[in-house]
Chains A and B, each alone.
Chain A
């Protein structure tokens, strides 16, 4: 069983959803990213998503765009991001790491080499925003060979007819982009989720995590009622910018409590 599947199996037994916080690599520097990865794992993160900075992040809102720019200024490269994960993995064997990013840096690195090196660094899954199912054959074989889960995005615009096609070859979990829009803008309501999540459930046995616009412990709790995971990114980046890494960990703890209390309430 992959590390990601293991985590979701464990949470299912516990009867709760996963909290999946996000760290943009090297924002604002490498040391902070490492502190965040370690600290998040200790403060309730079940899985951690690591953003790979790119100059042209077309699906991201202003907050993640700016974080990516800071990461690049601090010298982030794909190689550097993998080394960061490897250092985290050296003393954490249980928290899955999912890399999120765009295709061009991966193509530039070489898809085969990247999948190999990512697996070696202890990466568990890949979310490649601009790789729809129609183009996924570019990455699927190498990801599969190296035991990396390829996590697919599903959007409100994805029709029922299209769902099976999008889910083809996906593993780990399904990432539901709960709004039509970019990261960090709107938030899906409980009614939206009550309508959308069952639609996806009907098409897959994979766990479903919800992202884009989840900000507060209350929102995370709402998501946790319907889905198997809540992904929080922009809100944490803003906290890091406004305050510091410690404050981010405080927020992660509160989000984790929100997720844990969701189904008990």
Chain B
């Protein structure tokens, strides 16, 4: 990896876990000592070559890394502009980028002597990835999942159970991802001594946002090298969908200091940014504190959290990782919205032109590419993170297309 300059955008967070005014550690005192213990353990692991070597071993032989960089020629041609490359995280074992982070965290859990794993999940991708690494290392695992998501992601629920996880449907609040995270935090508070909480995105209290980002940076680091090899230069645009923001920050971070690379994060605009049914915390929210960090949130005038909406369960979260809030405020990354309908159209476009069924989450990024690629020159390059595959979504898509399976 290349070195980080002193005035680099890659030095955040500071010692208090802050990215500008965002991030921090807003948790109850019961958890605070654990968060500090985790931070110390992670810093030690990060500096330990043996830990890195072990992680690389699993990433290579178990996950199947490096994931390919694919030149999407038919899609590029159809859109009639920039050259589009897919970073194919959907080819990872378990079908999404989530496992990069799960492996990092479970190796850390083992190092810390923890004997039980918990996690929250929205689409079920992080839940499946967590259940998978728990099966691999023989650790018991409990996955919290909103009752609404249990209903709309049945195949993943079954997968988690097959892998030996206990899946706990959460019916409090809006019964989606944020509530699953609340209950996972409650479990952690009650089982502090033996339990490790594998958070699935670059959110939560410090050190999670930085740690998850570090584990996901393998995406951007590989893509950068692969693109240099294929094209001899950096992309003009790097783009990814943002739920909590882990796949996006993993792609963006290695490019943050490259002024020529435009970075675009795509939020779920649900039924439209002008409606109240979306998950666009950066475009439509304001800063607040939830799940241990200060960040942009969807909230009402009284500071109560508003339910998010997206066709894709993985983007259906009223917050966003704190590093994205900072990158938004300093205008290093542009955050745009893509609606349910646009994502569905992109899902079909990608499937039809490339023979790749993308996750509905990733389809949001593809939809924005479909909007901009045609206005770019043929020698310009877009690097898109194809964060996951869409097998899990075929039931939801069929329903929206009015097809009965």
The interface of chain A, by Cβ under 8 A from chain B, is 54-59, 61-62, 65, 69, 72, 77-79, 102-109, 129-135, 152-159, 162, 166, 177, 180-182, 185
Contact = CB atoms under 8 A, between A and B. Distances in A.
Nearest to A177: B30
B288 A58 contact: no
Contacts of A181: 30, 189-190
Contact of A185 (B30, B173, B190, B288): B190
Contacts of B173: 55-56, 69
Interface stretch (B178-186, B252-260, B276-284): B178-186
Contacts of A159: 33
A231 to B, nearest CB: 15
Interface string B336-348: 0000000000000
Contacts of B172: 62, 65
Nearest to A181: B190
Contacts of B289: 102-104, 107, 130
Contacts of B291: 56, 58
Contacts of B182: 56-58
A155 B297 contact: no
A78 B301 CA distance: 10
A180 B30 contact: yes
A185 B290 CA distance: 23
Nearest to A77: B302
Contact of B288 (A108, A153, A154): A108
Contacts of B28: 58-59, 129-130, 132, 153, 155, 177
A112 to B, nearest CB: 15
A135 B190 CA distance: 23
Contacts of A61: 186
10 contacts: A58-B186, A78-B303, A103-B289, A104-B299, A107-B288, A152-B29, A153-B28, A155-B28, A157-B30, A182-B186
Interface string B5-49: 000000000001000000011111111111000000000000000
A56 B186 contact: no
A158 B16 CA distance: 19
Contacts of B16: 134
Nearest to A72: B304
Of A65, A135, A162, most buried by chain B (CB within 10 Å of CB) is: A135
A154 to B, nearest CB: 6
A105 B303 contact: yes
Contacts of B31: 157
Contacts of A57: 182
Given A104-B303, A134-B25, A158 B33 contact: yes
A145 to B, nearest CB: 21
Contacts of A177: 28-30
B30 A104 contact: no
Contacts, number: 119
B192 interface: yes
Given A55-B173, A72-B304, A104-B305, A155 B299 contact: no
B66 interface: no
Given A58-B186, A132-B28, A105 B33 contact: no
Given A65-B172, A130-B292, A155-B30, A135 B24 contact: yes
Given A56-B305, A182-B189, A162 B290 contact: no
Given A130-B289, A162-B33, A180-B192, A56 B178 contact: yes
A105 B302 contact: yes
Nearest to B192: A180
A83 B185 CA distance: 32
A132 B304 contact: no
Contacts of B302: 77-79, 105, 108-109
B27 A130 contact: yes
Contact of A55 (B29, B301, B304): B304
Given A107-B288, A130-B26, 4 more contacts: A54-B303, A106-B303, A156-B30, A157-B31
A135 to B, nearest CB: 6
B16 to A, nearest CB: 7
A54 B303 CA distance: 8
A131 B303 contact: no
Given A104-B290, A104-B299, A166 B189 contact: no
Contacts of A185: 190
A211 B291 CA distance: 23
Of A55, A106, A131, A154, most buried by chain B (CB within 10 Å of CB) is: A55
B303 A108 contact: yes
A105 B305 CA distance: 9
Contacts of B288: 104, 107-108
